[in-house]
Structure 1
Amino acid sequence: MENQKVKTILKSVVIIAILFVLVFALRAQSADINGVPNQLKANYMDADGLPYFSEMDSYFNLRMTQDYMDHGYFGDTLVNGSGWDMHSYYPSGREVGSYQPMIAYVTSALYGIINIFQDMSIVEVAFWTGAFISSFAVIPVYIFTRRITNDYGAIAATLIVALGPNYISHTFAGFFDTDMFNIILPLFFILFFVEAVKSDKFAHRIIFSILSVLSIGLYSLSWTGFMFYPAVMILVMIVFFVLCFYLNIEVVEPFKNYSNKLKWLINQKELFSVIFIIILAIIGLLITVGIDGILAAISGLTGGFSLQSAANDVWPNVYISVAEMQIPNLLSGGLPGAFLANTNGIVNGIGGIVALFGVLFVLFTFVQRLLRLKSVKIKGDSSKPHKSKRKATSLRKEQDRFRITLKDIGSFGSSDEINRSKRLNVLYLSLFLVWILASAAAVTQGTRFIQVLVVPMGICAGIFVGYAADYVKANIESDRILLLIAFVCSFLIAFPITQIVYGLENALMIGSIVFVVLLAISGILIYVKKSIRDSDVSIKKTLVVLLITLALISPTVCGAYQTTASTVPGSSDPMWNAMDFVKENSTNDTVIISWWDFGYLFQIASDRPTAFDGGSQSGDRAFWVGKALTTSDLAQSKGILQMLGTTGSNASDLLCDYTGSNVTAVEALDKTLGMSKANAKSTLIKDYNLTEKQASAVVKQSHPSNPNNISFVLSSDMIQKAGWWSYFGSWNFDTLNSTNYQYYMASNYVKIKPNSQGSINVLNDSGIEYNAIIKRGANGTNETTAQMTAVWSNNGSKVDVNGTEYNPLKASNLIAIENNYLTVNKTLDKKANYTLYLIGSENEYTAILMDNELKDSVFTRLFLLGGMGQDTFVLSNMQEGVSVWTINDAASSSDNSDTNTTDT
């Protein structure tokens, strides 16, 4: 091996190692949970001092990993040879035999290796696994980009991709999910695929094809959407062959040049590699996921574009409520935000507008070259020079890369250069165009897919840095231009630092210092230092190239720092203590029911099953749990919970079979779940034409004689999520749509003495403050009155629109609870749509404004009013921001409710 090649490889290894340490260190920072005040950090750590996981899917993956390590399969039991999880979607449970096992395989392997040297629990290993594995993304990104451009470009691409906002926000320490594999394995697949297509040597094509298939085979064990990347590469090669045909580039030779078809096929390097990879991939995927997995993955390619549909069949689609499934904005934060990297917009997610400019420039360069290729003819002698005149392979490759990248910026290369690189250029143009367009289409289905888009975009941005570096070194001689570039780049480097939210004042100071220092150094090296002119040229150009590189990566690196420096765990002691209470004070048949978000945590913390969690978001559960929270009929809410926790969806399925309609089945249950069993049966026979036998079968499921114990968990986070659970709970099965209702809560208490007035801020929105103005009487609490006002935040004046007072949050009702007694319940304005709750104690008041539809909801009565005035539910445990309720079977509203007062 040539010395130069050895040096190049060693240099690349050192760079990759440094990049790995950097990206891991940024991910590891989240373990300090600096987003939590120091005095509260203990509340966000478990008994062993480890922070709670940041996202609830982590607890499901942890439980599956524990299952695998404990009994060798995923889930609690085997059903027909397939793993079955009885903690989820109770009572039926759900199959987890098709669970993507890579995360469990890798974590259990790491657990075994680590515990050879030191004791570490599986929870702690899982806590660090995502940060560790995802940091290996630097390897394929660097290698892939370095094959196209220089070290500057490869470093820039690596940091933009490996620290991309939507990637690092799912892979820092404490985030234990399959996202850790979403760059490493797909990019290795594409890297090896491209190398197989490019390679002139038959042996290399075979090796790279096998490696490509191994990569996608491993990825099929990591993510259900793995088929996206084989589909992209098939489209890439179709576009490649079409463009080659259009440009008269011969990629398929005539049969007559070969003695048989096999020899012909072997020598068509692109065609052979594609066919060979497809055959190997089919065989490999049959081994890893089977025919069912392949068919499911193919159908998922089109099914993925229905994620934004409001309905799933007739049921509401819960995925539209998941934050990472929301359709992203193109840009967040206006003009300043264009230079920042975060998860709030597409441009922000790929590293900011400067990175986007670099991507567009690179694509333009490829397209420009493509337009010139058609008319260019091969010139010159193609024979090889004598061995004595040949250069070292590594130097020759570096020079070829330099000439191509440099002159693409200037004159886009000579005819001879373009002809020698026709196939390669068309291949990369096809690759990046198809890859970016396919990823952009995926982004239309949710914010989380920006992490897919950032890979090709980040690589292109890195190529731009490499091109710019070559151009500056070879073409820029003017000191003024160098200083101008240094000035712009210094600003682009410093600006993201000044915008870091965590430690804002320090960030402003540090960012300003960075700008001044960089500009001063640039001025000194470019203008002041004149003693060794030849050296000056090299130093000042190297400095400018470094500044260009830093300018492209600064938004992403600063965004990554901000993400991990402001991390807050997804749970805390109150939630975990509430689950400990359930575990210690409930029977094994107890079922936990709440909104889906914390379902996975409930299962692992309490060792009790749930009826609704992150894996059961589709189907009927969102509607029924949302209905149990939104309805004002306590008996109906109780009936829903006991049905779900005992027989699940059996009653709905039976009614659908008998009536032939899911909609009719829901209507019938909606009407009868608040009734006694006898009245429910009578109503089903009379109003829905069921036979007595059918009605008996239905009520046996809808009104179980011996219902399981229910732990109904309500928590403060559900206040902000009310818009979604009320949306699903109020679902209109005729229009397949709904309306969401909201709570607006004041964040503090205000002291208001008798015979005085006070103002409580409830909401700030678009420069408008919505305040509850409270007036207390002098002779008793029942004289308290209040109303909502809307004023401009900047001057406190009332908001007028065309001379008319603007106040969309005006209250129609006032309810005051003072010193735990209901003191006021009166109408304020019949035309308004909100109810204002005042809660006061010892002259301290806070306010809650809510849509009228939530005024008497079960959630309001239980969580906000502490169960006051009802006996259907009993408070069994109260933690800070978390309450656990059980059902009182002896309550007067349970079996004696013959009327239905449910909101429809």
Structure 2
Amino acid sequence: MFKKEYFKNPYTILFLMILSAYIFSIACRFYWIFWASQFNEYFFNNQLMITSNDGYAFAEGARDMIAGFHQPNDLSYYDASLSAFTYWVYKITPFSFETIILYLSVFLSSLIVVPIILIANEYKCSLAGFIAALLASIANSYYNRTMAGYYDTDMLVVVLPLFILFFMIRLVLRKDLFSLICLPFFVRVYLWWYPSSYTLNVSLIGFFLLYSLIFHRKETIFYMSIILMLMTLPNIAWYYQSSIVVLLFSFYALKSEYFKIKFLILLGIFTFIFLIISGGIDPILYQLKFYIFRSDESVNLTHGFMYFNVNQTIQEVESIDSRVFMKRISSSEIVFLASCIGFIWLIIKHKSIILTLPMLFLGFLALKSGLRFTIYAVPVLAFGFGYLVYSLREINLKKYKAMAVNFVIILFVFLSLTPALFHIYVYRAPTVFSKNEATQLDQLKKIANREDYVVAWWDYGYPIRYYSDVKTLVDGGKHLGKDNFFPSFALTKNQRSAANMARLSVEYTEKSFYAPNDSLLRKDILQAMMKDYNESNVDLFLYSLSKPDFKIDTPKTRDVYIYMPFRMASIFSTIASFSLINLNNGKLDQPFVFSTAYPLGRENGEIILSNGVALSDDFRSLKIDNDISMIHSFIELNSVQQNDYKEIPIDPNGQYYLFYIKNSPIPYIQFILMDKTMYNSAFVQMFFLGNYDKSLFDLVINTQDVKVFKLKI
């Protein structure tokens, strides 16, 4: 048994707080495991599948590292941070690969409690940190991006900058050499783990410099810390960076008297110039263009065609309203407001906490640039909430009995955590793919070779490469407008155009990997095609692909497959936008209709659909915004796999085709409304109706969820 005095030791109490908060965070994340384990469709290879689409990129990279090789130009995340970390976990633990990628986020993301409590401990209010850690670890946005199965770099994307902030605050309060050397170490680790953290790292360093100039301008250790952190930013090999940092730190630790203010200023100027020369400003400019100004880099690269701007289609970078914003950060509006009050009070009491403002500002950027940024504000405002509760407790303890006050505080904290706990209960995210979809891709792995390509929408690029071990044109990291144009064209246009474009885009993509950097092929594949086929007008070139006499002169080097999942129907309208755009002016000159829906009920003899359309109960007409239109044809699908459907002509002058899908594998897709352009698309004809040109394609996989066609040309 432990002695009673042992629990009075402040370090013991600190450890128990960290351990308790860590276990709490892990336990909350295990709820999804418990819930998802009830559904067989979420399992593959005897383990639950992951819930993060991008996670399959790192899973592919880790898989290739375990195998010891990968194909040239296959876009594998070989040696990426999370891939490498997973590889080492796999090598030193007895767990299966699928188990590691499922649970890794549970244990790494819960580490957020450590720096939060440590920072609070520096302010002699570890209880405030404990309360903040409980809230931050399960706040809506942080939980959503770090839950079980969310295998992505998000699991440490907030933890690591919090450690940087901890050592900054510790340096301010203690001015110790340990904090001095830990700062560049964690900056370097953060950049390795998440290269996009470059902007936040620069912001943290810049703000720390401003803070030092205002409050500690005569203390050399602060300038030295800034120089050491800046040394980790240049685009040079990590071992060069480490050598420079260690040498400078050693000289400063042994001969600090030589490091006068003037010398440090000159050293700092030299470091900053070197940072600029090495391209240190470029990542910041790119982030500003993409998230703030919403520009598409592909337009600048091509100097010609104006492709569809992809960042307008990503929900994570869309602005959000204030209520959603507050709930994602603090799980409820009341807790959010209390957190803001507490954070202001914390600044008044401990001015060094303002070093967290870059993270807070990045979190507030979500109001303009997308909900993905809210996770950065979560721990900062959680600090505010924890400190407010702590301060109220300290005030009340002076007037009332400790037991009564503690009971009230515990009750208040529990009630504040309840919205987050309820969110965990209702946030039952599905796996990226169903068991059947993963099984079919695993089957494709046995059919296709590693050098073959699968043409599919970018949402499915990473999972396809992971399960089928093939190449893809696009994925979650390569999906600018100029990239997405080709799969969109192949899925949206008629079958001959689709076949020709699938072949050309694959062959030219492979050629582009070996083209000189200044080649037109490296800038824009479509323009390179036009040049080789002696066509200067893009519309004429694209139209020529639909002609039977169009001859592909480009040599065939590999097989090409086209992947068509049922789930793609829900986003097909967005997919079509990428190829129906006018490439000369960037406008959508060809309006089209493709809308999925499910019935909400009946009202006044009409069937009300979830997309706002009202159908007549005889399925002959529909009403959109009080405008009545006749239906051209009604198509009733009994089985997509068996091509069992019945088409009922209604009005030859009707504008719309209405699909009714019996036994739909996705409950929210029971009706599909489309116009003639979409009806004639390769996706609709080949997947839903089974009408594919056997001279162009072979059907190699056929299920209710997925169809895969092999290109013959």
TM-score by length of 2: 0.80
| Residue identity opposite 2:44 in structure 1 | D
Deviations 1:45-99 (A, max 9, x none): 113x20122122222212211222332xxx615xxxxxx5x434xxxxx7x57x6
In the alignment, what sits opposite 2:508?
Answer: 647
The residue that corresponds to 2:44 in the other structure is: 46
Partner of 2:270: none
- 1:22 aligned residue: 24
Does the CA-based 8 Å contact 2:339-2:381 persist in structure 1? yes
1:860 and 1:657 map into 2 onto residues whose CA distance is: 27
Q: Which amino acid aligns with 1:674?
A: S
Q: Is 1:813 matched up with 2:675?
A: no
The one-letter code sitting in structure 1 at the alignment partner of 2:488 is: G
Query: For residue 440 of structure 1, what is the aligned residue in structure 2?
Result: 364
Please list every run of 5 or more consecutive structure 1 residues that lacks an aligned counterpart in the other structure: 78-83, 89-93, 245-249, 254-264, 333-344, 370-403, 405-423, 478-536, 681-698, 751-757, 775-784, 791-805, 890-904
In structure 2, how many angstroms separate the alpha carbons of the residues matched to 1:625 and 1:450?
32
Amino acid of the structure 1 residue aligned with 2:86: T
Which residue in the other structure is 2:89 paired with?
110
Structure 1 pair 51/846, CA: closer, same or farther in 2 (3 Å)?
A: closer
* TM-fit CA distance, 1:625: 0.9
Q: How many angstroms apart in 2 are the aligned matches of 1:199 and 1:540?
A: 36
Match of 1:531 in 2: none
1:654 shift after superposition: 7.8
**Contact 2:597-2:671 within 8 A present in 1 as well:** yes
Structure 1 CA distance for aligned equivalents of residues 199 and 191 of structure 2: 11
Letter in 2 for 1:209: L
Instruction: Indicate the residue corresponding to 1:62 in structure 2.
Output: 59
1:875 & 1:772 partners in 2: Cα distance? 37
Q: How does 1:565-644 map to 2 (within 5 A)?
A: 566-587=428-449, 589-631=451-493, 633-644=494-505
Q: What secondary structure, in the 3-state scheme, does the structure 1 residue paired with 2:116 have?
A: helix
The whole-number CA distance in structure 1 between the counterparts of 2:284 and 2:446 is: 45
- How many Å apart are 1:329 and its aligned residue? 2.7
The correspondence for 1:854, drawn from 671, 675, 678, is: 678
CA–CA distance in structure 1, aligned partners of residues 80 and 565 of structure 2? 31
Amino acid at match of 1:836: L
Partners of 1:162 and 1:181 lie apart in 2 by: 12
Hey, what's the Cα distance between the residues in 1 that align with 2:656 and 2:581?
20
Q: Are 2:703 and 1:879 equivalent residues in the alignment?
A: yes
d(CA) in 1 for partners of 2:127, 2:535: 60
C-alpha distance in 2 between matches for 1:441 and 1:749: 40
For 2:594, which of 734, 742, 754 is the aligned residue? 742
Of residues 877-886 and 315-324 in structure 1, the stretch that sits farther from structure 2 once superposed is 315-324
Distance across 2 between alignment mates of 1:808 and 1:295: 60
Contact 1:16–1:139 (8 Å) recurs in 2: yes
The one-letter code matched in structure 2 to 1:195 is R
2:74 is matched with 87
Q: Aligned match of 2:202 in 231, 238, 249? A: 231
Q: Partners of 2:174 and 2:276 in 1: how far apart?
A: 31
Contact 2:90–2:97 under 8 Å retained in 1: yes
Give 3-state SS (helix, strand or coil) of 1:65's partner.
Answer: helix
Contact 1:107 1:125 in 2 (8 A): yes
Q: Within 2, Cα distance between the matches of 1:818 and 1:164?
A: 43
Alignment of 1:333-732 (within 5 A): 345-365=325-345, 369=348, 424-425=350-351, 427-428=352-353, 430-441=354-365, 444-474=368-398, 537-563=401-427, 566-587=428-449, 589-631=451-493, 633-648=494-509, 653=525, 655-656=527-528, 666-667=538-539, 669-675=541-547, 700=553, 704-706=554-556, 708-732=558-582
Structure 1: which amino acid aligns with 2:621? Q
Q: Secondary structure at the match of 1:136?
A: helix
Q: Conserved in 2, the CA contact under 8 Å of 1:770 and 1:789?
A: yes
Deviation (angstroms), 1:871: 5.9
SS across alignment from 1:227: helix
1:11 shift after superposition: 0.8
- State the identity as a percent: 16
Measured at CA, do residues 812 and 361 of structure 1 come closer, stay the same or move farther in structure 2, by a change above 3 Å? same
CA–CA separation in structure 2 for the residues paired with 1:818 and 1:193: 63
Q: Per the alignment, in what secondary structure is the counterpart of residue 621 of structure 2?
A: strand
Q: How many residues align?
A: 645
Instruction: Assess, with a 3 A threshold, how the Cα gap between structure 1 residues 817 and 539 changes in structure 2: closer, same or farther.
Output: closer
For each residue in 1:403-424, what CA deviation from the matched residue of structure 2 results, as whole angstroms up to 9, or x when unmatched? x5xxxxxxxxxxxxxxxxxxx5
**1:584 positional shift:** 2.5
Q: Deviations over 1:291-319 (max 9, x none)?
A: 99995664222321333526331333334
Gaps of 5+ in 2: 243-273, 300-305, 513-520, 639-643, 664-668
Local SS of the residue matching 1:316 = coil
Aligned 8 A contact 1:193 1:212 in 2 = yes
Partner of 1:375: none
Conserved? CA contact 2:614–2:623, under 8 Å: yes
1:624, distance to aligned residue in structure 2 (A): 1.5
1:350–1:356 CA contact under 8 A, matched in 2? yes
Change (3 A) 1:153 1:860: same
Tell me how far apart the structure 2 counterparts of residues 847 and 871 of structure 1 sit (CA, whole Å): 31
- Which is worse superposed, 599-608 or 581-590? 581-590
| Per-residue deviation, 1:113 | 3.2
Separation (CA, whole Å) in 2 of partners of 1:67 and 1:347: 39
Report the alpha carbon displacement of residue 215 of structure 1 after superposing the two structures with TM. 0.9
C-alpha separation in 1, matches of 2:676 and 2:491: 14
The match for 1:764 is 610
* Matching residue within 286, 296, 303 for 1:303: 286
Structure 2 CA distance for partners of 1:177 and 1:294, relative to 1, 3 Å = farther
Which letter does structure 2 place at the counterpart of 1:45? Answer: F
Paired with 1:192 and 1:818, the residues of 2 have a C-alpha distance of 62
Instruction: Point out the more displaced range, 127-136 or 612-621.
Output: 612-621
Q: CA RMSD in A?
A: 3.8
5 Å-filtered alignment, 1:167-186, equals 167-186=142-161
> Is the 2:313–2:574 contact (alpha carbons within 8 Å) kept by the matching residues of 1?
yes
- Structure 1 residue 152, shift from structure 2 partner: 3.6
| 2-structure distance, mates of 1:880, 1:748 | 24
Tell me: CA distance 1:474–1:18, structure 2 relative to 1, closer, same or farther (3 Å): same
For residue 274 of structure 1, the aligned residue among 222, 226, 229 is 226
TM-score (norm 1): 0.64
Alignment of 1:792-811 (within 5 A): 806-807=625-626, 810-811=629-630
Q: CA deviation at 1:281?
A: 6.4
